[in-house]
Copies of this chain bind each other. A is one copy, B any other.
């Protein structure tokens, strides 16, 4: 049994990201990751189930943490305020993740399999947030809509922040993205859209 190494998990993750970026995710084995990290297969199994897990480990916490934060937000907040409060709140805990996130994004973008996995993860976030909003009294369909918009805001904010982490912190990026959607939709002249009668005539 190897000596306990407090940095083993980080070393494995960094080794995996390096190798994925060098050779492509599909072409890297767990053996190569452990070798690069100077650790054993046994150490690897202590932290990760497989090589895909190295990329996404920790992200299974996001639905749980966000949903809890939505439920705990003050009763006086509107559903959107509770949602944005939760996003900003959780964002505060991600402050050290920008460098890894940029690398991870590059790996995921190069692999359709990983993109699919990423979408599944975000779908779980949407479901958890929608559930939490329903617990606050928001109706079923409205809760899902808000959760989808909230996750879109979070994803955009996260990408902008990881692209240029020194420009603005993640909570500020979340406010920025939310304000963009608010301003964009707020300025829509609904009377300028095609009238229902005119468009249903197509069908």
Contacts and interface: CB of A to CB of B under 8 A. Distances in A.
A178 B185 contact: yes
A92 interface: yes
A92 to B, nearest CB: 3
A88 interface: yes
Interface of A is mostly: helix
B190 A175 contact: yes
Nearest to A202: B92
Contacts of A194: 85, 88-89, 92, 171
Nearest to A174: B193
A132 interface: no
Contact of A123 (B80, B96, B115, B190): B115
A94 interface: yes
Given A115-B123, A155-B148, A92 B185 contact: no
Copies of this chain held together in the complex: 2
Interface stretch (A1-9, A21-29, A35-43, A138-146): A138-146
A199 B89 contact: yes
A148 to B, nearest CB: 4
Contacts of A111: none
B120 A188 contact: no
B185 A181 contact: yes
A186 B123 CA distance: 25
The 7 closest A-B pairs by CB, nearest first: A95-B203, A92-B199, A148-B152, A92-B202, A182-B185, A80-B184, A145-B156
